[in-house]
Amino acid sequence: MNSGSTIFSQLVGFLSHYEFQKCVSRYDGEHKVKSFSCWDQYLCMAFAQLTYRESLRDIEACLRVAKDKLYHMGIRSKVSRNTLSNANMVRDWRIFTDFGQELIAEARTLYANEDFGVDLDETIYALDSTTIDLCLSLFPWAHFRKNKGAVKMHTLLDVRGSIPTLVNITHGKVHDVNILDTLPLEAGSIYVMDRGYLDFARLYTIHLAGAFFVTRAKHNTQLRRLYSHPVEKSTGMQCDQTVIPRGLQSKKDYPGQLRRIRYFDAEQNRSLVFLTNHFTLPALTISDTYRCRWQVELFFKWIKQHLRIKKFYGNSENAVKTQIWIAISVYVLVAIVKKRLNLENSLYTILQILSVTLFEKTQILQALSREEVKEPVAENCIQLNLFN
Protein backbone atom coordinates (compact mmCIF):
# COMPACT_ATOMS: atom_id res chain seq x y z
CA MET A 1 0.00 0.00 0.00
CA ASN A 2 1.27 3.49 -0.81
CA SER A 3 2.05 5.25 2.48
CA GLY A 4 2.09 8.74 1.02
CA SER A 5 5.70 8.80 -0.20
CA THR A 6 6.55 10.53 -3.46
CA ILE A 7 7.63 8.63 -6.55
CA PHE A 8 11.10 10.14 -6.16
CA SER A 9 11.47 8.71 -2.65
CA GLN A 10 10.18 5.33 -3.88
CA LEU A 11 12.74 5.45 -6.68
CA VAL A 12 15.51 6.27 -4.20
CA GLY A 13 14.36 3.20 -2.28
CA PHE A 14 15.99 1.06 -4.97
CA LEU A 15 19.36 2.55 -4.00
CA SER A 16 21.51 1.28 -1.13
CA HIS A 17 22.36 4.15 1.21
CA TYR A 18 24.72 1.82 3.06
CA GLU A 19 26.77 1.11 -0.09
CA PHE A 20 26.81 4.82 -0.90
CA GLN A 21 28.20 5.70 2.53
CA LYS A 22 30.92 3.09 2.05
CA CYS A 23 31.97 4.92 -1.11
CA VAL A 24 31.93 8.24 0.73
CA SER A 25 34.06 6.87 3.56
CA ARG A 26 36.53 5.37 1.09
CA TYR A 27 37.46 8.84 -0.17
CA ASP A 28 36.74 10.80 3.02
CA GLY A 29 34.06 12.70 1.12
CA GLU A 30 32.44 14.38 4.13
CA HIS A 31 35.53 15.64 5.92
CA LYS A 32 34.53 18.79 7.83
CA VAL A 33 31.09 18.77 6.20
CA LYS A 34 28.38 20.06 8.58
CA SER A 35 25.46 20.18 6.19
CA PHE A 36 24.59 19.19 2.62
CA SER A 37 26.01 15.67 2.67
CA CYS A 38 27.24 13.72 -0.34
CA TRP A 39 23.91 11.90 -0.32
CA ASP A 40 22.09 15.24 -0.58
CA GLN A 41 24.39 16.18 -3.44
CA TYR A 42 23.72 12.91 -5.24
CA LEU A 43 19.93 13.21 -4.88
CA CYS A 44 19.93 16.80 -6.15
CA MET A 45 22.01 15.86 -9.17
CA ALA A 46 19.87 12.77 -9.82
CA PHE A 47 16.76 14.97 -9.63
CA ALA A 48 18.35 17.30 -12.18
CA GLN A 49 19.00 14.38 -14.54
CA LEU A 50 15.49 12.98 -14.20
CA THR A 51 13.75 16.33 -14.75
CA TYR A 52 16.09 17.80 -17.39
CA ARG A 53 17.28 20.82 -15.38
CA GLU A 54 19.42 23.19 -17.41
CA SER A 55 21.50 24.90 -14.72
CA LEU A 56 22.27 25.10 -11.02
CA ARG A 57 19.89 28.03 -10.70
CA ASP A 58 17.21 25.89 -12.34
CA ILE A 59 17.84 23.07 -9.84
CA GLU A 60 17.71 25.46 -6.90
CA ALA A 61 14.47 27.10 -8.04
CA CYS A 62 12.63 23.81 -8.62
CA LEU A 63 13.69 22.22 -5.34
CA ARG A 64 12.95 25.32 -3.27
CA VAL A 65 9.41 25.40 -4.64
CA ALA A 66 9.01 21.86 -3.28
CA LYS A 67 10.84 22.55 0.00
CA ASP A 68 8.03 20.95 2.03
CA LYS A 69 8.69 17.66 0.24
CA LEU A 70 12.50 17.65 0.32
CA TYR A 71 12.77 15.84 3.64
CA HIS A 72 10.54 13.02 2.43
CA MET A 73 12.56 12.85 -0.79
CA GLY A 74 15.67 12.12 1.27
CA ILE A 75 17.24 15.59 0.97
CA ARG A 76 17.92 16.73 4.52
CA SER A 77 19.64 20.07 3.82
CA LYS A 78 18.61 23.34 2.26
CA VAL A 79 19.47 23.39 -1.45
CA SER A 80 21.64 26.30 -2.49
CA ARG A 81 23.15 26.95 -5.91
CA ASN A 82 26.54 27.93 -4.45
CA THR A 83 26.61 24.96 -2.08
CA LEU A 84 25.83 22.50 -4.87
CA SER A 85 28.39 24.13 -7.16
CA ASN A 86 31.09 23.91 -4.50
CA ALA A 87 30.21 20.27 -3.73
CA ASN A 88 30.52 19.31 -7.40
CA MET A 89 33.86 21.06 -7.60
CA VAL A 90 35.61 19.72 -4.49
CA ARG A 91 34.07 16.36 -3.59
CA ASP A 92 35.91 13.46 -5.15
CA TRP A 93 34.19 12.26 -8.34
CA ARG A 94 35.37 8.71 -7.57
CA ILE A 95 32.66 8.51 -4.88
CA PHE A 96 30.01 8.52 -7.59
CA THR A 97 32.12 6.30 -9.86
CA ASP A 98 32.31 3.57 -7.23
CA PHE A 99 28.61 3.88 -6.42
CA GLY A 100 27.83 3.67 -10.12
CA GLN A 101 29.87 0.47 -10.30
CA GLU A 102 27.78 -0.96 -7.45
CA LEU A 103 24.62 -0.28 -9.44
CA ILE A 104 26.21 -1.73 -12.58
CA ALA A 105 27.05 -4.97 -10.75
CA GLU A 106 23.41 -5.25 -9.59
CA ALA A 107 22.05 -4.52 -13.08
CA ARG A 108 24.34 -7.07 -14.73
CA THR A 109 23.04 -9.75 -12.38
CA LEU A 110 19.44 -8.85 -13.27
CA TYR A 111 20.13 -8.89 -17.02
CA ALA A 112 22.42 -11.95 -17.02
CA ASN A 113 19.91 -14.00 -19.05
CA GLU A 114 18.78 -11.21 -21.36
CA ASP A 115 18.55 -12.12 -25.06
CA PHE A 116 20.64 -9.94 -27.38
CA GLY A 117 19.99 -11.57 -30.74
CA VAL A 118 22.95 -13.97 -30.93
CA ASP A 119 22.78 -17.50 -29.54
CA LEU A 120 25.94 -17.46 -27.44
CA ASP A 121 26.72 -18.32 -23.84
CA GLU A 122 29.83 -16.12 -23.73
CA THR A 123 29.71 -12.57 -22.40
CA ILE A 124 29.99 -10.07 -25.24
CA TYR A 125 31.34 -6.58 -24.64
CA ALA A 126 31.15 -3.70 -27.12
CA LEU A 127 33.93 -1.13 -26.84
CA ASP A 128 33.77 2.38 -28.26
CA SER A 129 34.03 6.05 -27.33
CA THR A 130 32.01 9.21 -27.83
CA THR A 131 33.23 12.80 -27.83
CA ILE A 132 31.48 15.55 -25.88
CA ASP A 133 32.40 18.98 -27.22
CA LEU A 134 33.31 21.71 -24.73
CA CYS A 135 34.29 25.37 -24.87
CA LEU A 136 38.07 25.51 -24.42
CA SER A 137 37.94 28.92 -22.69
CA LEU A 138 35.55 27.55 -20.04
CA PHE A 139 37.14 24.09 -19.79
CA PRO A 140 40.88 24.76 -20.33
CA TRP A 141 41.84 21.32 -18.97
CA ALA A 142 39.81 19.49 -21.67
CA HIS A 143 42.52 19.45 -24.37
CA PHE A 144 41.35 18.42 -27.83
CA ARG A 145 42.27 20.80 -30.65
CA LYS A 146 43.88 24.21 -30.88
CA ASN A 147 40.64 26.15 -30.46
CA LYS A 148 38.33 23.43 -29.20
CA GLY A 149 37.93 21.40 -26.02
CA ALA A 150 36.32 18.02 -25.48
CA VAL A 151 36.10 15.01 -23.22
CA LYS A 152 35.79 11.41 -24.31
CA MET A 153 33.64 8.71 -22.75
CA HIS A 154 35.44 5.42 -23.41
CA THR A 155 32.76 2.82 -22.68
CA LEU A 156 32.77 -0.96 -22.39
CA LEU A 157 29.17 -2.14 -22.75
CA ASP A 158 27.75 -5.51 -21.77
CA VAL A 159 25.37 -6.15 -24.67
CA ARG A 160 23.05 -8.18 -22.40
CA GLY A 161 20.77 -5.37 -21.28
CA SER A 162 23.06 -2.65 -22.69
CA ILE A 163 24.73 -2.10 -19.31
CA PRO A 164 27.97 -0.01 -19.29
CA THR A 165 30.51 -1.99 -17.26
CA LEU A 166 33.43 0.39 -17.65
CA VAL A 167 33.46 4.13 -18.38
CA ASN A 168 36.77 5.96 -18.62
CA ILE A 169 36.46 9.74 -18.96
CA THR A 170 39.49 11.46 -20.52
CA HIS A 171 40.26 14.66 -22.39
CA GLY A 172 39.71 14.61 -26.13
CA LYS A 173 43.32 14.00 -27.18
CA VAL A 174 43.48 10.48 -25.76
CA HIS A 175 43.34 8.01 -28.67
CA ASP A 176 40.81 5.21 -28.43
CA VAL A 177 43.39 2.45 -28.78
CA ASN A 178 45.15 3.52 -25.56
CA ILE A 179 42.13 2.39 -23.55
CA LEU A 180 43.01 -1.22 -24.38
CA ASP A 181 45.95 -0.87 -21.96
CA THR A 182 43.57 -0.31 -19.02
CA LEU A 183 40.88 -2.79 -20.08
CA PRO A 184 40.05 -5.46 -17.46
CA LEU A 185 40.09 -8.71 -19.44
CA GLU A 186 37.85 -11.69 -18.67
CA ALA A 187 38.91 -15.09 -20.01
CA GLY A 188 36.32 -16.52 -22.40
CA SER A 189 34.60 -13.18 -23.08
CA ILE A 190 34.35 -11.61 -26.52
CA TYR A 191 35.36 -7.97 -27.04
CA VAL A 192 33.83 -6.33 -30.12
CA MET A 193 35.39 -3.09 -31.38
CA ASP A 194 35.75 -1.09 -34.58
CA ARG A 195 38.95 -0.77 -36.63
CA GLY A 196 40.11 2.24 -34.62
CA TYR A 197 41.25 -0.28 -31.99
CA LEU A 198 43.31 -2.36 -34.44
CA ASP A 199 46.71 -2.64 -32.79
CA PHE A 200 48.38 -6.05 -33.07
CA ALA A 201 50.39 -5.77 -29.85
CA ARG A 202 47.33 -4.89 -27.77
CA LEU A 203 45.16 -7.48 -29.52
CA TYR A 204 47.76 -10.13 -28.70
CA THR A 205 47.50 -9.12 -25.03
CA ILE A 206 43.78 -9.90 -25.21
CA HIS A 207 44.63 -13.24 -26.82
CA LEU A 208 47.15 -14.13 -24.10
CA ALA A 209 44.52 -13.35 -21.43
CA GLY A 210 42.31 -16.13 -22.84
CA ALA A 211 39.74 -13.66 -24.16
CA PHE A 212 38.51 -13.19 -27.73
CA PHE A 213 38.22 -10.12 -29.93
CA VAL A 214 36.26 -9.26 -33.07
CA THR A 215 37.29 -6.18 -35.00
CA ARG A 216 37.43 -4.86 -38.54
CA ALA A 217 40.54 -4.78 -40.69
CA LYS A 218 41.79 -1.51 -42.13
CA HIS A 219 42.21 -1.07 -45.87
CA ASN A 220 46.01 -1.09 -45.55
CA THR A 221 46.25 -4.06 -43.16
CA GLN A 222 48.81 -6.47 -44.64
CA LEU A 223 47.98 -10.15 -44.01
CA ARG A 224 49.18 -13.39 -45.56
CA ARG A 225 46.72 -16.20 -46.15
CA LEU A 226 47.64 -19.66 -44.81
CA TYR A 227 44.41 -21.63 -45.24
CA SER A 228 40.95 -21.12 -46.69
CA HIS A 229 37.84 -22.70 -45.23
CA PRO A 230 34.54 -23.41 -47.03
CA VAL A 231 31.72 -20.88 -46.60
CA GLU A 232 28.06 -20.72 -47.55
CA LYS A 233 27.96 -18.00 -50.21
CA SER A 234 24.18 -17.62 -49.96
CA THR A 235 24.50 -16.21 -46.43
CA GLY A 236 26.67 -13.32 -47.65
CA MET A 237 29.97 -14.91 -46.59
CA GLN A 238 32.70 -14.45 -49.18
CA CYS A 239 35.68 -16.05 -47.45
CA ASP A 240 36.87 -17.55 -44.15
CA GLN A 241 40.66 -17.68 -43.92
CA THR A 242 43.46 -18.35 -41.47
CA VAL A 243 46.04 -15.58 -41.83
CA ILE A 244 49.15 -14.11 -40.20
CA PRO A 245 50.43 -10.52 -40.23
CA ARG A 246 52.77 -9.83 -43.12
CA GLY A 247 54.94 -6.93 -41.91
CA LEU A 248 58.03 -7.54 -39.80
CA GLN A 249 56.82 -5.37 -36.90
CA SER A 250 53.28 -6.75 -37.17
CA LYS A 251 54.62 -10.33 -36.94
CA LYS A 252 56.56 -9.35 -33.84
CA ASP A 253 53.51 -7.70 -32.26
CA TYR A 254 51.18 -10.62 -33.07
CA PRO A 255 53.18 -13.84 -33.51
CA GLY A 256 50.06 -16.04 -33.67
CA GLN A 257 47.42 -16.78 -36.28
CA LEU A 258 44.31 -14.75 -37.00
CA ARG A 259 41.02 -15.50 -38.65
CA ARG A 260 39.88 -13.24 -41.49
CA ILE A 261 36.23 -13.26 -42.55
CA ARG A 262 34.83 -11.28 -45.47
CA TYR A 263 31.10 -10.60 -45.43
CA PHE A 264 29.02 -8.81 -48.06
CA ASP A 265 26.33 -6.57 -46.63
CA ALA A 266 23.63 -6.51 -49.30
CA GLU A 267 21.61 -3.78 -47.53
CA GLN A 268 24.47 -1.26 -47.66
CA ASN A 269 26.15 -2.79 -50.73
CA ARG A 270 29.61 -3.12 -49.19
CA SER A 271 32.06 -5.77 -48.05
CA LEU A 272 33.21 -5.97 -44.42
CA VAL A 273 36.42 -7.69 -43.35
CA PHE A 274 36.56 -8.98 -39.79
CA LEU A 275 39.57 -10.13 -37.79
CA THR A 276 39.26 -12.39 -34.77
CA ASN A 277 41.18 -14.92 -32.72
CA HIS A 278 38.06 -17.09 -32.30
CA PHE A 279 38.39 -20.13 -34.59
CA THR A 280 35.49 -22.30 -33.37
CA LEU A 281 32.42 -20.11 -33.96
CA PRO A 282 30.76 -20.22 -37.40
CA ALA A 283 31.74 -17.37 -39.70
CA LEU A 284 28.18 -16.03 -39.83
CA THR A 285 28.06 -15.93 -36.01
CA ILE A 286 31.23 -13.83 -35.98
CA SER A 287 29.52 -11.40 -38.36
CA ASP A 288 26.38 -11.30 -36.20
CA THR A 289 28.56 -10.73 -33.13
CA TYR A 290 30.08 -7.64 -34.72
CA ARG A 291 26.59 -6.25 -35.25
CA CYS A 292 26.24 -6.16 -31.46
CA ARG A 293 28.76 -3.31 -31.46
CA TRP A 294 25.96 -1.05 -32.61
CA GLN A 295 24.43 -1.26 -29.14
CA VAL A 296 27.16 0.93 -27.69
CA GLU A 297 26.38 3.54 -30.37
CA LEU A 298 22.72 3.41 -29.35
CA PHE A 299 23.74 3.79 -25.70
CA PHE A 300 25.69 6.97 -26.52
CA LYS A 301 22.79 8.34 -28.53
CA TRP A 302 20.30 7.54 -25.77
CA ILE A 303 22.28 9.02 -22.91
CA LYS A 304 23.11 12.20 -24.87
CA GLN A 305 19.48 12.76 -25.87
CA HIS A 306 17.75 11.92 -22.60
CA LEU A 307 20.25 12.83 -19.86
CA ARG A 308 22.32 15.91 -19.10
CA ILE A 309 25.90 15.21 -20.26
CA LYS A 310 26.23 17.79 -23.03
CA LYS A 311 25.68 20.83 -20.80
CA PHE A 312 27.45 20.90 -17.47
CA TYR A 313 26.69 22.55 -14.14
CA GLY A 314 30.38 23.21 -13.39
CA ASN A 315 33.59 23.88 -15.33
CA SER A 316 36.13 21.90 -13.32
CA GLU A 317 37.23 18.42 -14.30
CA ASN A 318 35.86 17.06 -11.03
CA ALA A 319 32.42 18.61 -11.66
CA VAL A 320 32.24 17.23 -15.21
CA LYS A 321 33.17 13.70 -14.14
CA THR A 322 30.76 13.87 -11.21
CA GLN A 323 27.88 14.87 -13.48
CA ILE A 324 28.66 12.21 -16.10
CA TRP A 325 28.88 9.42 -13.53
CA ILE A 326 25.65 10.46 -11.82
CA ALA A 327 23.97 10.46 -15.24
CA ILE A 328 25.27 6.93 -15.84
CA SER A 329 24.03 5.78 -12.44
CA VAL A 330 20.58 7.24 -13.20
CA TYR A 331 20.52 5.31 -16.48
CA VAL A 332 21.45 2.08 -14.67
CA LEU A 333 18.92 2.80 -11.89
CA VAL A 334 16.12 3.11 -14.46
CA ALA A 335 17.26 -0.21 -15.97
CA ILE A 336 17.17 -1.83 -12.51
CA VAL A 337 13.66 -0.49 -11.82
CA LYS A 338 12.46 -1.74 -15.21
CA LYS A 339 13.68 -5.26 -14.45
CA ARG A 340 12.65 -5.42 -10.78
CA LEU A 341 9.11 -4.21 -11.51
CA ASN A 342 8.85 -6.32 -14.70
CA LEU A 343 7.90 -3.28 -16.76
CA GLU A 344 7.22 -3.60 -20.47
CA ASN A 345 7.83 0.09 -21.16
CA SER A 346 11.12 1.15 -22.72
CA LEU A 347 13.75 3.04 -20.72
CA TYR A 348 12.82 6.17 -22.67
CA THR A 349 9.14 5.88 -21.70
CA ILE A 350 9.98 5.21 -18.06
CA LEU A 351 12.27 8.25 -17.94
CA GLN A 352 9.62 10.47 -19.53
CA ILE A 353 7.01 9.35 -16.99
CA LEU A 354 9.39 9.89 -14.08
CA SER A 355 10.24 13.39 -15.28
CA VAL A 356 6.66 14.60 -14.72
CA THR A 357 5.59 12.49 -11.74
CA LEU A 358 8.47 12.68 -9.25
CA PHE A 359 6.49 14.76 -6.74
CA GLU A 360 3.29 12.74 -7.00
CA LYS A 361 2.25 10.46 -4.15
CA THR A 362 1.22 7.29 -5.92
CA GLN A 363 2.56 3.81 -6.32
CA ILE A 364 5.56 3.81 -8.61
CA LEU A 365 4.36 0.59 -10.25
CA GLN A 366 1.03 2.19 -11.02
CA ALA A 367 2.71 5.26 -12.48
CA LEU A 368 5.16 3.35 -14.68
CA SER A 369 2.93 0.53 -15.90
CA ARG A 370 -0.14 0.56 -18.06
CA GLU A 371 -2.12 -1.49 -15.57
CA GLU A 372 -3.95 -0.07 -12.59
CA VAL A 373 -2.69 -1.27 -9.22
CA LYS A 374 -5.52 -1.69 -6.77
CA GLU A 375 -4.96 -0.87 -3.15
CA PRO A 376 -5.47 -3.94 -0.93
CA VAL A 377 -8.54 -3.79 1.28
CA ALA A 378 -8.10 -4.66 4.94
CA GLU A 379 -10.07 -7.78 5.84
CA ASN A 380 -10.74 -6.94 9.49
CA CYS A 381 -11.97 -3.39 9.21
CA ILE A 382 -13.51 -2.20 12.47
CA GLN A 383 -14.78 1.11 11.12
CA LEU A 384 -18.57 1.33 11.03
CA ASN A 385 -20.40 2.00 7.79
CA LEU A 386 -22.20 5.34 7.62
CA PHE A 387 -24.80 4.03 5.19
CA ASN A 388 -26.38 0.60 5.07
Model pLDDT for residues 71-92, shown as the tens digit of each residue: 888 888 888 999 999 999 999 9
How do 190-193 and 223-229 pair as beta strands? Answer: unpaired
Residue 386 lies in a domain: no
pLDDT value at residue 384: 45
How would residue 98 be classed by pLDDT, with cut points 50, 70 and 90? very high
Averaged pLDDT score across all residues of the chain: 90
How would residue 378 be classed by pLDDT, with cut points 50, 70 and 90? very low
Task: Measure Cα distances from 146 to 129, 140, 142, 150, 276 in Å.
Answer: 21, 11, 11, 11, 37
265 and 207 share one domain: yes
pLDDT value at residue 371: 53
Q: What secondary structure, in 3-state letters, does 291-306 show?
A: HCCHHHHHHHHHHHHH
Residue 285 lies in a domain: no
pTM over cut 0.75 = yes
Residue numbers of the domain that contains 67:
7-95+316-368
Residue 121 lies in a domain: no
Residue 143 lies in a domain: no
How would residue 3 be classed by pLDDT, with cut points 50, 70 and 90? low
269 and 337 share one domain: no
pLDDT value at residue 370: 60
pLDDT surpasses 50 at 373 = no
Helices and strands, number each (H, E), in the chain? 14, 10
pLDDT surpasses 70 at 309 = yes
pLDDT surpasses 90 at 33 = no
Give the pLDDT mean for 35-62.
93
Spatial CB neighbours of 100, under 8 Å, sequence gap ≥ 6? 167, 325, 326, 328, 329, 332
Last residue of a domain, one of 252, 280, 308: 280
The string of pLDDT tens digits covering residues 174-184 is 999 999 999 99
Q: Structurally, how many domains does the chain consist of? A: 2
Residue 223 lies in a domain: yes
Residue 288 lies in a domain: no
Q: What is the DSSP letter of 371?
A: S
Residue 2 lies in a domain: no
Give the pLDDT mean for 89-103.
96
Residue 20 lies in a domain: yes
